[in-house]
Structure 1
Amino acid sequence: MSVAIVCMTRPEGQTALTPNTSKSCSFADWNVSQSNLTSECDIPEISKLDDRFDWDKETQGFILGSFFLGYVLTQLPGGWLAGRYGGKHLYGWSMFVCAVATLLTPLAARTNVALLIVMRAVAGICQGVVIPCMQTLLSYWIPPLQRSTSVGFVYAGTQVGVMVAFPLCGVLCVDGFDGGWPSIFYVLGCLGIVWFLAWMYVVSDSPVSHPRISENEREYIVDTLKSELDISKKSSSTPWSKIFTSLPVWAIIVTHTCAEWGAYTFLTNIPSYMEDVLKFDIKKAGFLASLPYLGFWAVTNISAHLADCLRKRGYISTTTARKIFNSIGNMIPAIFIVIMGNVADDPGIAVAMLTLGVAMSGCQYGSGFIVNPVDIAPRYAGIILAISNTTGSLGGFFAPLAIGIITVDKTREQWKTVFYIAAAVYAFGAIFYAIFASGDLQSWARDETDNRVIEIQDETTKSEVKNIEEETTHL
């Protein structure tokens, strides 16, 4: 939507164009920018420019933010339902509805802006279950010493999607069918339906219920997870009070919220920044906007692999690994964001800072807060990440609104303010997590039977120690 909305919105002060015959130009020669278009060209595809809307910056902010407003509503319900009944069907059918809503988006936009906002909110509601469902599925599939690598690889896939979508949307915006921008939603909606069919065939809630994996693989996964949870069971009750009073949980919540503010700032506004400040046309902006996510994908996988190697060899503990990589993923982007806000006169350096800043935030996904819920409470990992993603998604709603208000004149100074705020938020999240995070399984996250065994073992140990002391005294 962040690329599409640039094509969907008519530059301020411009009315629908009417053709003239003074000069002939192709639509590809035009830059769809915020500057006023000249009237020297006769435009064959006049409908592409006429089929746009007079939305001001605040309205655009509401359209972008409505997705995230819907997104926060299903985080907790999604986490609870996935933990209780499994994530496969909830995830799959939610994405199917999202794909249908995406296909209907052009019709909604051409009907009424309020209907478009509702449709984007529906898409957000459907996608709100994605992270909790995925975290729950991963907790039943990934052995402990493979978590960073496997979880990082899975979440890095979202960046591949962004990396492909930005340039694709840029091309469809200018050269697509049905006026350009509607083709973005038709193509992505159809891909969503194809994905749904593949998901429902391939995925199972756990190794126990999967019909096609080998018996050796099934036994290996089940055996390695026995110490943390009974893989044949779904969570029946949730220790809400212990979750909300756990400092390691709050460390995840706070740093996730701060990280998402920065991430959504870029995700929803990179194309606008490249157009407003760097003066790139929408095609070029679409391709350049994908570069940070290529870097993000690479850093996520590299950091995840490095973290697991260090943990397996005993060089660092899980807690230390999470704190180190999460701090890198927050502080380095904060530094690059500040630099980027001060080098807009050199677009090349600005793009480099943007790419490196977003890329290095991948350390959080490779071995930071994203993996952490499975460490401290695998049985409730979906619920914990749902809570943190709910607060984090508020940034997805408020960040576009704040940016729309701050950058009302689209000046370099206004964008610098946006970047300074994001840098400060990043830094706060890094500090809080470094102080309170943990990589150890929490006592309240164990199965009740496991806790009883531990209590018996403790009592037995105490009894043995007492007997030894008594024998020593007699001697």
Structure 2
Amino acid sequence: MTSLMDSLEGVSSEKRESTNPQEEEGKKQQHQQVKRFCSIRYAMAIMIHCCNLIIFTQISSLSIAIVAMVNHTSQSNQSNVSSEGYPGATPDTAVPVYEWSPEIQGLLLSATRYGALISTVPSGYFAGVLGGKKIAGFSMLICSILNLLIPLAADYGLPYLFVIRIVQGLLQGMNFSALSAFWPKWAPPLERTQLSTIGISGVTLGSFIAILGGGFLCASPGWPSIFYIYGGIGCVYCIIWFSLAYDDPINHPLISDSEKEYITSSMTEQANAPSWSLPFKAMIKTMALWAILVGNVCRFWLISNLTTSLPTLLDNMFDFNFKKNGSLSALPLITSWVSMTLGGYIADFLLSKKILRLITVRKLFTFLGMFFPSLFTVLIPYVDSTTAIVFLILASSMSALCFSGFIINPLDIAPRYASFLMSLETGFMLISGLVSPVITGYFISQDATGWKNVFFLSSAINLLGMVFYLIFGQTNIQDWAREHRITHF
């Protein structure tokens, strides 16, 4: 009996000795793959980053150009073209200036949000089933062409400009949702946070470039150049996109066999595309999904007030001039871009080194990205102007850490349906972004303490979303998101 046990132990030890070197080599190879940034998957993340950047420069460009497009000395409800050039224009470079009321300007700026709200969820569903390359590419191409037509549409009249802005919003929603379809097939679990944040950070960088570059372009050669330049860049980039972007690593002609094997082998459960039918009943009953959606609504309520209302806040509370106002309004965007990128790297580092579990990483970054912005926001009314600006920048920057928390959580709980779920959370964000400025406008129109009430309410709602996610957030793949196979004996 003893000899039999000894022989069995010897066999098992031989197996361990024979398999361990292979396991170690596999782990070593995997570790090398994680560290290798010069790869096709990171190139895809950068391409998606550029796609987001271009789309959002086009969408955000009107918010800067409209300052030069409007005749502020004679505003009315008519859309007639004024004979005056915008301030600083010479007779040789004079561009048209329009007499649009503040209400018309607000509708023009918000038109894209209504368009995006319509297209975001359906396009996320179709991108998940059919792939995101063509949807993202064609939406970017059409949006770029429409951007080139904005100066002409403004001359023809407001109805034409409104149509272009609404259609651009539809295309923006399609593009953003389609880009989410790449991650279930391109981002290995240990690199998922970093790759996705690299891609989505193009949104903030694009808005930053639109605001910063738009000011210079308005000064010379004039506001139409904003739309021509950003639209032209988009048209050129579409050629690159259709040539080099692929829906999955299997069909990419430039990817190495080792990288292809690394990506596909690490994502066995999420490599399969979802069917045309969605498990709606199971989704609705999943608290982990509601935790993500509620978190998005609550976070974007605060962020919408910090970004959309920031120029008004700086003007009303601290009496900043326009030039300084524009620079300060752009500063939180670039700091958020840095925070988002670093947050993705740190999150994946903690996971790859097995310092923290996935659920701990998601909840940690959610806590950091929601608690401290709420704290900074509440303190703004009680500090001087310089400290208030610092708090605003810190709040926006810290909030970007949520992209390493609950925002990409759909990739964890339901990778097969990640495109649809991420478009769904974007839809909830857009609803929040449309409602919160209305409530903000109501508060600030009441009395001098209006901004305090805005900050208190925004902070409270943000904290509510944080607590809800910390309680109900999960990272395990939900049963309805798994591919069930029938085994025949």
Partners of 1:394 and 1:119 in 2: how far apart?
21
When structure 1 is superposed on structure 2, of 417-426 and 386-395 the one drifting more is 417-426
Deviation track 1:41-94 (CA, whole Å, cap 9, x = no partner) reads xx85698697133312x4333222221111011112111111111000001111
Shift of 1:18: 9.1
When structure 1 is superposed on structure 2, of 247-256 and 413-422 the one drifting more is 413-422
Residue in structure 2 matched with residue 144 of structure 1 by the alignment: 189
**Match for residue 458 of structure 2 among 394, 417, 422:** 422
* Bigger relative contact order, structure 1 or 2 (CA pairs below 8 A, ≥6 apart): 1
Structure 2 residue matching 1:380: 3-state secondary structure: helix
Residue in structure 2 matched with residue 381 of structure 1 by the alignment: 418
CA contact (8 A) 1:330 1:361 kept: yes
- Residue type of the partner of 1:230? A
Unaligned runs of 5+ in 1: 20-25, 29-42, 457-475
Partners of 2:214 and 2:144 in 1: how far apart?
16
Please say if 1:96 is aligned against 2:141.
yes
Residue in structure 1 matched with residue 350 of structure 2 by the alignment: 310
Residue in structure 2 matched with residue 200 of structure 1 by the alignment: 242
Residue in structure 2 matched with residue 464 of structure 1 by the alignment: none
**Match for residue 209 of structure 2 among 148, 152, 164:** 164
- Residue type of the partner of 1:368? G
Shift of 1:429: 1.4
Following superposition of structure 1 onto structure 2, how do residues 29-178 of structure 1 map, counting pairs within 5 Å? Answer: 44=90, 51-56=97-102, 58-173=103-218, 175-177=219-221
CA contact (8 A) 1:170 1:285 kept: no
Please say if 1:264 is aligned against 2:304.
yes
Shift of 1:192: 1.8
**Match for residue 408 of structure 2 among 371, 374, 378:** 371
What TM-score results when the alignment is normalised by the length of structure 1?
0.81
Partners of 2:129 and 2:72 in 1: how far apart?
49
Shift of 1:240: 1.7
Partners of 2:367 and 2:100 in 1: how far apart?
42
Residue in structure 2 matched with residue 431 of structure 1 by the alignment: 467
Residue in structure 2 matched with residue 393 of structure 1 by the alignment: 430
What TM-score results when the alignment is normalised by the length of structure 2?
0.78
CA RMSD of aligned residues (A): 2.9
CA contact (8 A) 1:235 1:380 kept: no
Partners of 1:302 and 1:90 in 2: how far apart?
29
CA contact (8 A) 2:75 2:101 kept: no
Partners of 1:334 and 1:46 in 2: how far apart?
50
Report how many residues are paired. Answer: 423
Please say if 1:5 is aligned against 2:66.
yes
Following superposition of structure 1 onto structure 2, how do residues 193-342 of structure 1 map, counting pairs within 5 Å? Answer: 193-226=235-268, 228-231=269-272, 233=273, 235-342=275-382
Partners of 2:391 and 2:113 in 1: how far apart?
26
CA contact (8 A) 1:17 1:46 kept: no
Distance 1:105 1:264, change over 3 A: farther
Partners of 1:116 and 1:63 in 2: how far apart?
8
Deviation track 1:151-186 (CA, whole Å, cap 9, x = no partner) reads 12222222222222211112223x133xx3332222
Distance 1:420 1:186, change over 3 A: farther
Shift of 1:107: 2.8
Partners of 1:319 and 1:48 in 2: how far apart?
57
Structure 1 residue matching 2:461: 3-state secondary structure: helix
- Residue type of the partner of 2:260? R
Residue in structure 2 matched with residue 460 of structure 1 by the alignment: none
Deviation track 1:199-237 (CA, whole Å, cap 9, x = no partner) reads 1112100001111111111111111111x2335x45443
Deviation track 1:242-299 (CA, whole Å, cap 9, x = no partner) reads 1122111111111112222333334434344444544444443333222112211221
Partners of 2:200 and 2:343 in 1: how far apart?
13
Structure 2 residue matching 1:225: 3-state secondary structure: coil
Q: How much identity, in percent, do the aligned residues show?
A: 32
Partners of 2:448 and 2:161 in 1: how far apart?
30
